[in-house]
Amino acid sequence: MSEETKNLVEDQETLKNANVTPEQFDWDSFESGLNAEDRKEKSELEKMYDTSLRELDENQVFKGRVVRITDKEAIVDINFKSEGVISLNEFRYNPNLKVGDEVEVMVAQREDKTGQLQLSHRKARMLKAWDRVNELHETGEIVEGYVKSRTKGGMIVDVFGIEAFLPGSQIDVKPIRDYDQYVGKTMEFKIVKINHEFKNVVVSHKALIEADIEDQKKEIIGQLEKGQVLEGVVKNITSYGVFIDLGGVDGLIHITDLSWSRINHPSEVVQLDQKVNVVILDFDDQKSRIQLGMKQLEPHPWDALDSNIQVGDKIKGKVVVLADYGAFVEVAPGVEGLIHVSEMSWSTHLRSAQDFVKIGDEVECVILTLDKEERKMSLGMKQLTLDPWTDITAKYPVGSKHKGTVRNFTNFGVFVELEAGVDGLIYISDLSWTKKIKHPSEFCSVGDVLDVIVLELDTDARRLSLGHKQLTENPWDKYEVKYAEGTVHTGKVVQLFDKGATVQFEDVEVEGFCPSRFLEKEDGSKIKKGDETEFKVIEFNKEFKRVVVSHTGTFREEDNREETEKQVKSQNQSVEKSTLGDLDELQELKRKMEEGQ
């Protein structure tokens, strides 16, 4: 008989002995082994257990009591069927945790694989913290936070266990240069922004400072007056000036108001966080822009200048500013004088001041003008050397020969420097005996060294007239004899015009002009360009280097000689009224007139 059949037979025997029908038999008691009262109690306990589990599932915070602490965990009683476990890592912020302490927890896991209830103190703390942070953000109340570490752009602050961000610009009202000094400090903050989506919190310490100093600022601004002297702290330094914190109100000292002396950068005078005394120079109507000064607290250097200093005194100083037109020299702190470039050298060829001095040079000079009321001083350097015109007549007497450097051109001549401060002029007509020069640049270049002779000297006007061609014999002295009127020479026609022709003789410097009607040959034909034949000189002028010739005169006497002489005389009189610089043009005009004979 099987076990199942055996049990069924036994159950039937039990029913017979109990004198009850199957419908009346208590099967629950039979199956559970418990009577009706015990089963009721069990049902109530199961109901209570299910209810408590449903409550623990809800996202809420419970209060529990620490009943035991092990090496790694804290055992917490939350009035549940079993005690919960929390890792001690969640209590690192509270190293003094002990048995009996009350802590807030949330259910992390109802039962782990060992059947243990897992609790979280961090989750409960964070949930409470977020509620608190939101509440304080709305009310604007002050919170305390622990600065944990630096991060890009600011600091990380622990607020109720939440890591909040403190921007660098929100640490203080003044710029922060050392962020590390705040790490590890507990400070007060104001919650200024919350991002619920990303669970971000931004706090500010600067907002508390600004609120504290706002009242001070209003009080200070209300008391500001021009000329008032205040103590401030250097807040920021720029290339153009210094910002001063006057106790919640900022003012600016422009670089020119820091010192009576010239400075290149404000950092030469002040340093960050330095306490300084300043005077209020000006401010706008709202007193939001305050102009301050430091140098005004000291006497003006010109007022302290030695009263014995006068024009003509020698004085030393340092070059502080350099420009093309001159150099500013500081002869005493805050006292400057100008050396114009024309006072740096006796040379009349003015150059840039940079050719003589540079910034930082110590120079000796002479006071040329001094106006203490206007606080102006002009200085000179060349006055420390002898004026080259002092003994000019001894060094450059008329007729003396020298070498000079070509410095400049004009249409009428060349300026030659004999030494610094001594220049002479060579007129274009005194450059060459033979060359026809239209502009001096055809003869020489700037920088060339020329041999010259002194032709004229005017000490009062400081003027020298020089010559170059006078250093050689005038070839026209011998040409005057060789090409005397009436002499006959062989020449070649090099140019042919309607009015006549240019004739080149064996002396290349000598060119003659033959009027057109004097070009007729004995056979009645005309001389052509390139023909070489004899010509008779009918007029020679050494002064104007002019030679008039005739071919017909070689074989017959001229009948219009009187008319030719009349035209030549008229042109000579006209030339005598002209300046030396116009001679070449007049000669050309004269030749054209002759061509019209």
What are 355-377's pLDDT values in tens digits?
A: 888 988 999 999 999 988 888 99
Asked which of 40-54, 99-113, 533-547 is least confident by mean pLDDT, the reply is 40-54
Same domain? 466 vs 482 = no
Same domain? 160 vs 51 = no
* Structure confidence at residue 596 (pLDDT): 45
Average predicted confidence (pLDDT) for the chain:
80
pLDDT over 80 (residue 50):
no
Name the band, by pLDDT with cuts 50, 70 and 90, for residue 307: confident
pLDDT tens per residue across span 320-345? 888 888 999 998 888 899 999 888 88
Higher pLDDT, 342 or 58: 342
**Which of 384, 406, 441 delimits the end of a domain?**
384
Asked if residue 534 belongs to a domain, the reply is yes
- Asked if residues 547 and 511 have their Cβ atoms less than 8 Å apart, the reply is yes
Higher pLDDT, 471 or 508: 471
pLDDT tens per residue across span 586-597? 455 445 444 444
DSSP string, 475-525: THHHHHHHT-TT-EEEEEEEEE-SSEEEEE-SSTT-EEEEEGGG-B-TTSP
* Structure confidence at residue 319 (pLDDT): 92
Tokens of 88: 């001690």
* Structure confidence at residue 258 (pLDDT): 92
Angle at 23 between CA 19 and CA 28, to 5 degrees: 100
The residues that bridge with 315 in the sheet, in sequence order, are 365
- Asked if residues 129 and 161 have their Cβ atoms less than 8 Å apart, the reply is yes
Higher pLDDT, 378 or 36: 378
Same domain? 480 vs 458 = no
Q: How far apart are CA 156 and CA 468, in angstroms?
A: 89
pLDDT tens per residue across span 449-483? 999 999 988 888 888 899 988 888 888 888 888 88
pLDDT tens per residue across span 531-575? 999 999 999 988 778 899 999 988 876 544 544 554 455 445 544
* Structure confidence at residue 13 (pLDDT): 56
* Structure confidence at residue 233 (pLDDT): 92
pLDDT over 60 (residue 48):
no
Asked if residue 86 belongs to a domain, the reply is no
How far apart, in Å, are the Cα atoms of 492 and each of 482, 512, 597? 17, 10, 21
- Asked if residues 325 and 295 have their Cβ atoms less than 8 Å apart, the reply is no
Same domain? 183 vs 252 = no
* Structure confidence at residue 242 (pLDDT): 93
* Structure confidence at residue 210 (pLDDT): 76
Percent of the chain residues topping a pLDDT of 70? 81
DSSP string, 174-212: S--S-GGGGTT-EEEEEEEEEETTTTEEEEESHHHHHHH
* Structure confidence at residue 111 (pLDDT): 67
Asked if residue 7 belongs to a domain, the reply is yes
**Which of 336, 367, 384 delimits the end of a domain?**
384
Higher pLDDT, 155 or 41: 155
**Which of 364, 384, 404 delimits the end of a domain?**
384
Instruction: Count how many domains the chain has.
Output: 6
* Structure confidence at residue 387 (pLDDT): 82
* Structure confidence at residue 80 (pLDDT): 78
Same domain? 202 vs 154 = yes
* Structure confidence at residue 26 (pLDDT): 54
pLDDT over 80 (residue 223):
no
Domain range enclosing 518: 476-595
Average pLDDT over residues 502-530: 88
Average pLDDT over residues 149-167: 88
Same domain? 545 vs 586 = yes
CATH of the domain at 574: 2.40.50.140
pTM greater than 0.75: no
* Structure confidence at residue 287 (pLDDT): 64
pLDDT over 90 (residue 278):
yes
